[in-house]
Chain A
Amino acid sequence: MRNYLLKRVLLFLPTLFVISLVVFFLSKIIPGDPAERLTGILSIEGEEHFDLGAMTNYQRTYRHLGLDRPLFYFSVHPRAREAHFRDIERPAIRKNIKQLMYETGQVDLVRSYFEAGKALSRDIQFQLDECDTAVFWSDFEHQFNRAGSKAAVAEITNNALLFMPAEKCSFHPSVKDVVKYGNEITSAKRPFGWWIPKLSWHGTQNQYHHWLAGIFSGDWGYSLRDGRSVGSKIRNSIGYTLSISFFSLLLTFAAGIPLGMYLATTKRKRCKELLRTVVYALYAVPLFWLATLLVVFFTTEEYGKWTNLFPSPSQIMLHTMDGDASFFQGMSYLLLPVLCLASGGVAFVARQMEQTALRESASRYIAMSRLKGNSEVVTIWRHLFPNAVFPLITLLGTLIPGLISGSVVIEVIFNIPGMGRLMWDSIFGQDWNVVFAILFIGAILTLVGQLIADILYTRANPKVRYD
């Protein structure tokens, strides 16, 4: 057993590693730019002309978030292009550089061309008024940022030669640079073997390493949306989720176990059939439909005064934010979500309980107990019940992660600011620090919960052994 446990725990490590990779890279694939969101600049990609302040602000945020670092410890890429272009903030330019590198196969040349172009645009921006030049130069940056192919570069070079500014003009040297590199690019031939893979080692200065190191050192970072620390955000919302899950779990077992026992032992046929139908139906009811029905019919006065039994979901957020809700008020808010969450669980537990009880009641010790003259109550509750209920205990292990992570659907419908809702909002807000933290907690809890379930299972059923 001890060996088995050790092996399981050791196997957690590669699993957690793969999960961290999956989560990290999935979040990187999702389109959208956190720096863009944080600075409030809309669509860096589409628009060319920003005011300088906004752009500098964006660049600073971009670097501050570490987005200029490579993603992973190493990368494999064809020889024709660089390992990554993350030091360039604007996605459109990144794409152009990559395209040009693929077309020419000259990594350094393309880089110098872009450096020259950048320098020239800066020079133009600051010194356009000094000398009398063509319109082309005022529009240069715009054109340059779109140069993603040899043909485009050739056109820019031709135009630059055509509208070459006078020698005295301060940006004349930069223009010469651009023309020089541009000519080289247009005449460059992609060398053979451009596709040969090359391994670049980035060391620990990469995004994945920083993220992982942060998690292990307990620094979960800050929310990208409101700047609060991730820990405090989770602490704020975990209370709601915990109380809802606790009460619904309590209700699930408190109602499901007696119901299952009743179904298994009762002799009243009509009642049994009816209850079974209800349980069966309850088991198939979609959670979100039940919740919607309850919200639609029982939280407003639309259908008469008496149907307004529960507070409407929009109030919940308000009251909980103020923190002035009394205990009973709070309970009344939780009632509907708890009922919804428990409904499916009750049906599941009742069915499971009924099944195990029926199976156990066919065994010999029950017959023996009856033969001894024990009363039916003693037979059922002293002998049958403990044996029948034990398999259900193993369920608890698998329920642990759900306790913390909560139900997104329920929290979204009832407007509860719990963990599920936090996760939902954070994914949509691309608040990756928060998402990562929740996912990581959830993953660890799931793994631990499964282990606990396995251990409980061996305790419940000594016949099962892990060797």
Chain B
Amino acid sequence: MIEVFQNRGKARGKVKMPAYLTMAICFIWLFTALFADQLANELPLTCKIDGQRHFPAFRETLSKVSGQSSPRIYYLGKKEEMESVVRAPIPYSPQTIDRANAGYISPLGPQNISSQRYRHWLGTDGMGRDVLAGLIHGSRVALIIGLLSVLAAMLVGVLFGAAAGFFGDQSWRLNILEIAGGTIILTVGLYLLYLQLDCGGSWLYLSGWLLASTALVYLWSSTVKTSMRAALLRLGLSGTMGIPLDLILLRLIEIFRAVPSLFILLALLAIIESPGILQMSLIISLLMWPAFARYTRAEFLSLREQEFVQAAQLLRRSKNYIIFREIMPLAIPPIAVAAAFGVSSAILAESTLSFLGIGFSVEQVSWGSMLNEARLYFRAWWLAVFPGIAIFAVILSMNSLGDYISRQKSTGIKMVD
């Protein structure tokens, strides 16, 4: 599932999807993801309880954003006392169990409902949950997974790839003392971390120790660079060593390619019991960062030989300046292409995992988990068709977005030439 992503960027054909279609899909996707709670909700949009006006569906969104407990149970208990109720367009939440319509009710056939307002437009699943409500809320899951995992993968991949591409194996040179001190500090930090975990300390310590030791390494290297330079020269300890960044990156990429992503996914998913959306995106991004690193590295490799970089070096611009201000702007378009394809492959990965039944816990509705149910009962074609169309449409639009950016990129480069 992730491997597909590795080849994606290569196949940029001239085939176009109409731009309006791409835009339409993206907008619908964004809209349903943002307003999922208002579009499909068992709780009314607004109602009166004891003469006071309430906005249950909006309060639910608010509680999700602020991390408070959901007002769902409170309002479901007050169902009888509600007056002047305005319901959501789809009066079902994805987890609402409509017992009267349980057992795979077709969208075309008769349904056991009081009025057309309560119709299950896309049918129900075995437990009587509304498929359309699931689709709408699944779009939110897909959006968060796609964006989060690509952002995380980009952060690591782009930085590492840029450093490896720009410095290669030799040109990032550090003083020997700097390296020695840094290694010792990092080792001590890792040991302390291990100690914390072994004693049964919390994971909070982990990030704390890592941060602390990174800060110490940074402090050490800056001390060596500034205040100790003269002393070092006098002692004859001014020797430097190149850090083989490129070699390390290439080996890492090789390793990630050689170990099947399914194994890594299964192992990590087994360690983290019942992963949430955040954990899931981080796991997926762990598998995606090598691709970003590869693209960025290739781009930096070719760009660093260009004249404008040499000019900047002659002008004694700092390395940070050259990497982030001179080269990065030109490397952004290919990275953006990779990001667009990355979103689609992250969604694909998540839905494949949920489809195989190893993704989220059962309560979390996603497009893949809905498709999974289609395998249980073949007659329920609506469970096989609609979630699939949603995934397909989103992937299609992301791919064509990537194609679009890559075409822009080629014209952009021509202008620079």
Contact = CB atoms under 8 A, between A and B. Distances in A.
Interface stretch (B156-164, B209-217, B221-229, B257-265): B257-265
B270 interface: yes
A78 interface: yes
B388 A78 contact: no
A290 to B, nearest CB: 8
A13 to B, nearest CB: 11
Contacts of A243: none
Contacts of B348: 286
Contacts of B266: 427-428
Contacts of B262: 408, 423-424, 427
Contacts of A77: 198
A49 to B, nearest CB: 26
Contacts of A303: 381
B406 interface: no
A58 B196 CA distance: 32
Contacts of A405: 260
B395 interface: yes
B392 A439 contact: no
Interface in B10-42: 10-15, 17
Interface residues of B, number: 52
Given A23-B259, A446-B258, 15 more contacts: A15-B254, A22-B259, A26-B264, A31-B271, A281-B396, A288-B352, A288-B356, A289-B384, A355-B14, A408-B356, A409-B355, A412-B356, A443-B258, A450-B254, A450-B257
B397 to A, nearest CB: 9
Nearest to A442: B260
Contacts of A348: 7, 11
A117 interface: no
9 contacts: A15-B255, A31-B271, A277-B15, A280-B400, A286-B351, A348-B7, A352-B11, A423-B263, A428-B266
Nearest to B391: A286
Interface string A440-460: 001100110010000000000
A310 B212 CA distance: 61
B203 to A, nearest CB: 14
A297 interface: yes
Interface of A: 11, 14-15, 18-19, 22-23, 26-27, 29-32, 76-78, 81, 98-99, 102, 195, 197, 276-277, 279-281, 283-289, 292-293, 295-297, 299-300, 302-303, 344, 348, 351-352, 354-355, 358, 402, 405, 408-409, 412-413, 423-424, 427-428, 435, 439, 442-443, 446-447, 450
B257 A284 contact: no
Contacts of A195: 195
Nearest to A303: B381
Nearest to B7: A348
